[in-house]
């Protein structure tokens, strides 16, 4: 966040054993006014966070699938992910459904600055991501039909 030039804020939902270390790092970097650790949140709050977001950052290393990507697309939000993310790259196409950047803080910051400045781009990418979700990920009725064939 210290490389972001626009007034973008980061909200991290979820929890885990690294939370104390993350809080400490946020303090040391002086970005506490721009980063919120929401902890574990109920589904209703998670939906609010997605719908209120400019975009969704999901930067795992070589993830198998990347459900967060699909949640972002369900909310019609563009996904920013990394060139080495693995599974999310099956859905996130740079400049089409999101932004794919090198795993470097400045590159991630530039991606969110770009979305902040170009809201039409953010909307276009999010809409395209939603279309990919609908086209490529089966709904429950389709899953049940396949299982009962």
Q: Does residue 2 form part of some domain? A: no
Nearest by Cα to 54 from 104, 7, 88, 96:
7
> Among all chains, which residue has been given the structure tokens 């276009």?
124
In the chain, how many H helices and how many E strands?
A: 6, 5
The pLDDT tens digits of the residues spanning 11-67 come to 999 989 999 999 999 999 999 999 999 999 999 999 999 999 999 999 998 888 889
Return the pLDDT at 1. 86
Domain that holds residue 41: 10-147
Q: Does residue 108 form part of some domain? A: yes
Domain count, the chain: 1
pTM for this entry: 0.89
Q: Does residue 101 form part of some domain? A: yes
CATH number of 48's domain = 3.40.50.2000
> Among all chains, which residue has been given the structure tokens 């932004």?
99
- Mean predicted confidence (pLDDT) in 82-110: 97
């Amino acid at each position: 966040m210290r490389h972001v030039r626009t007034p973008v804020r980061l909200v991290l939902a979820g929890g885990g054993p690294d939370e104390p270390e993350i809080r400490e790092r946020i303090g040391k970097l002086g970005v506490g006014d721009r980063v919120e650790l929401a902890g574990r949140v109920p589904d209703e709050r998670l939906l609010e966070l997605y719908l209120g977001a400019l975009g969704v950052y999901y930067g795992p290393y070589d993830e198998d699938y990347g459900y967060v990507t699909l949640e972002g697309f369900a909310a019609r939000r563009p996904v920013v992910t990394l060139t080495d993310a693995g599974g999310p790259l099956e859905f996130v196409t740079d400049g089409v459904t999101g932004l794919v950047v090198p795993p470097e803080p400045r590159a991630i910051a530039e991606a969110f600055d770009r979305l902040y400045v170009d809201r039409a781009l953010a909307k276009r990418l999010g809409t395209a991501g939603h279309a990919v979700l609908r086209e490529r990920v089966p709904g429950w009725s389709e899953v049940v039909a396949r299982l009962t064939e």
